[in-house]
Amino acid sequence: NAGVMQNPRHLVRRRGQEARLRCSPMKGHSHVYWYRQLPEEGLKFMVYLQKENIIDESGMPKERFSAEFPKEGPSILRIQQVVRGDSAAYFCASSPRSLVLGTEAFFGQGTRLTVV
């Protein structure tokens, strides 16, 4: 059973370009979470999705950022018109059911985004 797969592992974008980060959850997992980690800082919650639904996007910046988790395929975190401050590690996690039911969240290896 493969773990949470994120790609690409490293992504370099010029200012103003778009960045697309992909996350394939573990098999059988329908809950996906995205986190951002700035250099030397902690993990900040961005968004929680279930298949085709955004459950909690309280940590998402109001502009330029969007996320989806379609019925088929990976979850996508999309950043439009990237700026230098978007440079960070973006981690995805998945779980088989809601975390309030006492399950672990499994993390991917992350995508390191560098904006030049």
Partner 1 sequence: QQPVQSPQAVILREGEDAVINCSSSKALYSVHWYRQKHGEAPVFLMILLKGGEQKGHEKISASFNEKKQQSSLYLTASQLSYSGTYFCGTVGNEKLTFGTGTRLTIIP
The residues of the shown chain that bind partner 1, judged by CB under 8 A, are: 33, 35, 42-45, 48, 55-56, 91, 93, 98-100, 102, 104-110
Shortest approach of partner 1 to residue 22 CB, angstroms? 16
End-to-end CA distance of the chain: 36
Q: Which is nearer to partner 1, 80 or 103 (CB)?
A: 103
SS (H, E, C) 44-68: EEEEEEECCEEEECCCCCCCCEEEE
Q: Which is nearer to partner 1, 33 or 82 (CB)?
A: 33
Please, how many CA atoms are within 13 Å of residue 1, restricted to the half-sphere of its CB? Answer: 6
Shortest approach of partner 1 to residue 6 CB, angstroms? 9
Shortest approach of partner 1 to residue 94 CB, angstroms? 11
Q: Which is nearer to partner 1, 8 or 16 (CB)?
A: 8
Q: Which is nearer to partner 1, 19 or 95 (CB)?
A: 95
Do residues 52 and 76 make contact, with C-beta atoms less than 8 angstroms apart?
no
Cα–chain center distance at 32: 8
